[in-house]
C-alpha cells in the first residue's frame, strides 16, 4: 500500500487500516452558524486514526471544470482533484461527491482542521486513481466536529499560486482585514465564497 498527501503531515501508524474500512462512530448534525450539515464523532478519535473514505463519482478534468462553475455559482464545492501522482503534470481525474458519496459529503471546511485527506493506492494499477482517505491530524474528542482544509485539494498545477496566497493571508491577517473592512464589516470579493469556519486564523474566504 502506498500513500501520498497534498498537505504536509506525518501520519503515524499503518495504512492497511483503509482496507478494513472505517471503525469510528460518526453522526451527521445541523450546524448552528449557517454552514448547513456537519459531521461529528461520538467517541474519541486518536491522532493518526483513519476516519472515512472520501468517495464520489470519478469524472474527467474537463467535466470537473464545467461542473465547478455551476457549484461555484451555488456557493458549494464537492470536487476533489486526484492530483497525488507527482509524475503527471496535470490531474486527469476528479472526484465529485455532489450526488454520489458517503458521510464525507457532509464534512465541512475549517482553516484550523483536525483531519486531512491522503491518496492511498490499494490494489490499484492506475497511479491516477488513488482512493481518498481522511485521517485525524490531532485527537478529536467526543461530539467534536470533524473538518479538513478545502484549500488542500487545490490542484498542484496551482500550488505555487496557492502557497503565495496562503502566505499573504496568514502573515498579515489583521492588517489585511483592517484594509478590507468598511463600517466594521469584512468585504468578501465577489468571486470568493465566504468562509464560516469561525477559526481564529480564518482566511475569511475560500477559493
CATH at 6: 2.170.270.10
**How many domains are there within the chain?**
1
Q: What is the pTM of this model?
A: 0.73
173 is in an annotated binding site: no
Q: Is residue 119 part of a domain?
A: yes
- Return the pLDDT at 191: 61
Q: What is the pLDDT of residue 190?
A: 58
Q: Rounded distance, CA 90 to CA 127, Å?
A: 13
Among candidate residues 123, 138, 159, the one with its CA nearest the CA of residue 16: 123
pLDDT at 119 over 70: yes
Q: How many CB atoms lie within 10 A of CB 8?
A: 7
Residue with cell 489583521: 174
Q: Is residue 52 part of a domain?
A: yes
pLDDT of 181 over the 50 cut: no
Give a yes or no: residue 175 inside a domain.
no
124 annotated to a ligand binding site: no
Please name the helix (run of DSSP H) or strand (run of DSSP E) that holds residue 160, with its range, or none: helix 159-171
Q: Is residue 68 part of a domain?
A: yes
Give the C-alpha separation, 89 to 177, whole Å: 35
- Residues 48-63: what's their mean pLDDT? 93
- Please identify every residue annotated as catalytic: 54, 150
More confident residue, 13 or 148: 148
Containing domain of residue 38, as a range? 2-153
Q: Is 202 annotated as ligand-binding?
A: yes
pLDDT at 28: 97
Which of 86-100, 103-117, 187-201 ranks highest by mean pLDDT?
103-117
Amino acid at each position: 500500500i502506498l500513500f501520498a498527501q497534498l498537505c504536509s503531515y506525518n501520519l503515524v501508524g499503518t495504512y492497511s487500516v483503509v482496507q478494513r474500512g472505517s471503525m469510528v462512530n460518526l453522526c451527521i448534525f445541523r450546524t448552528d452558524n449557517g454552514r448547513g450539515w456537519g459531521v461529528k464523532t461520538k467517541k474519541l478519535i486518536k491522532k493518526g486514526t483513519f476516519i472515512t473514505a472520501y468517495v464520489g463519482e470519478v469524472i474527467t478534468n474537463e467535466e470537473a471544470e464545467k461542473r465547478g462553475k455551476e457549484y461555484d455559482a451555488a456557493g458549494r464545492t464537492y470536487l476533489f482533484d486526484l492530483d497525488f501522482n507527482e509524475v503527471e503534470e496535470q490531474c486527469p481525474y476528479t472526484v465529485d461527491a455532489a450526488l454520489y458519496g458517503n458521510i464525507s459529503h457532509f464534512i465541512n471546511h475549517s482553516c484550523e482542521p483536525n483531519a486531512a485527506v491522503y491518496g492511498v493506492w490499494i490494489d490499484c494499477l492506475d497511479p491516477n486513481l488513488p482512493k481518498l482517505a481522511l485521517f485525524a491530524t490531532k485527537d478529536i474528542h467526543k461530539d467534536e466536529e470533524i473538518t479538513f482544509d478545502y484549500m488542500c485539494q487545490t490542484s498542484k498545477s496551482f500550488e505555487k499560486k496557492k502557497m503565495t496566497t496562503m502566505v499573504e493571508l496568514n502573515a498579515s491577517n489583521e492588517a489585511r482585514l483592517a484594509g478590507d473592512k468598511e463600517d466594521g464589516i469584512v468585504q468578501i470579493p465577489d468571486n470568493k465564497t465566504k468562509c464560516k469556519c469561525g477559526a481564529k486564523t480564518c482566511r475569511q474566504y475560500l477559493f
